[in-house]
Amino acid sequence: MTAFSGTYVEAIRQALHDAMEADPRVCCLGEDIGAYGGAFRATEGLLARFGPERVIDTPIAEQAIAGSAIGLALMGQRPVAEFQFMDFALLAADLMVNFAAKAHWRWGPTVPAVFRGPSGGGNGGGPFHSQNPEGHFLGSPGLKVIAPGTVRDAYALLRAAIEDPDPVMVFEHKHLYRRLRDQWDEPPTARLGEAALRKDGAAACIITYGAAQQVALAAVADLDVAVLDLRTLWPLDDETITALARRTHRVLVLTEASRTYGPGAELAARIGETCFPWLDAPVLRVGAADTPTPASPPLEAAALPSVERVRSELDRLLAW
């Protein structure tokens, strides 16, 4: 694969295609991923190209999907399991957290399986199809968690996840699937565990990931404020996070996940512990309201982080 021009979801499809072309061990499994091409068409065309032995339709059973992927990985394959919505990845949490993530620690073999799917709100999907459940999986030793926030990362991070020897969860924000476009002549590359500075600045910084970085960039377009995209949520790129916090002296953590007990709380705590002497203000947090995601568009918009909320908190941070 060389030149590409397309959307975020098309980059995911291209990454799967290129990985399967490059390595016959790579296979895909999940609900409706074959003939239907996936609920969001992320696997469209793969069945025709690679056949039913490598593009496997499964029952609506997340535990079976995860368990099958783990078994395939232990037998030498490189499976990519799709959860139709990452809300329901919680049904398979026991297998991913208590088995896949710990297999190497317990008895030696690695589990090179990828568990990917759409998460996040903004589409009126309601409380069961709009969650950001990544916080439930963070901090599980042996389990890596990534959240691509750009078209290039949708491709590059997925390729890196497929090649990684450990189990990796990929949280793709469904609101970005067809809203972001990009192009390249040569495939982009990325390494898990490395954050990316999306905008530089000296007055403060926003640390974020996934679709929330689009909110951050819109909020600081005219400000001297840096925006750091974590890309990998676990393990964190502590070195880059710490260096930016110490350089800018003011930090706002922005996530679409719940503000209370969410990933932003851990980030704020880590920055407070490691950067306190360099900070000129407390670490502020913006996250989703502590409520199930409403299906009503106006209520959903009120519950999710907005440019206005971020701008308001930045004003407070810069005035400290």
Which residues carry out catalysis? 129
Interior/surface letters 295-309, b for 16+ CB within 10 angstroms, e for the rest: beeeebeebbbeeeb
* H helix or E strand, kind and range, residue 170: strand 168-173
Kindly state the DSSP code that residue 294 receives in the 8-state scheme: P
Q: What's the CA gap between 233 and 251, in Å, rounded?
A: 17
**Helix, strand, coil share (%) of the chain residues, nearest 5:** 40, 20, 40
Which tokens belong to 250?
């003011």
| CA distances to 198, 253, 266, 281 from 246, in Å | 18, 14, 17, 12
**How many C-beta atoms surround the C-beta of residue 280 within 10 A?**
12
Alpha-helical (H) ranges within the chain are: 8-22, 46-50, 62-74, 93-95, 103-107, 151-163, 212-219, 238-248, 263-275, 297-303, 307-318
Contact 85, 91 (CB under 8 A): no
For residue 130, give the nearest of 309, 303, 264, 267 by alpha carbon. Answer: 303
| Separation of first and last alpha carbons in the chain | 50
d(CA 156, CA 109): 25
CA distance 47 to 57: 10
- Distance, in Å, from the CA atom of 152 to the CA atom of 154, rounded to the nearest integer, reads 5
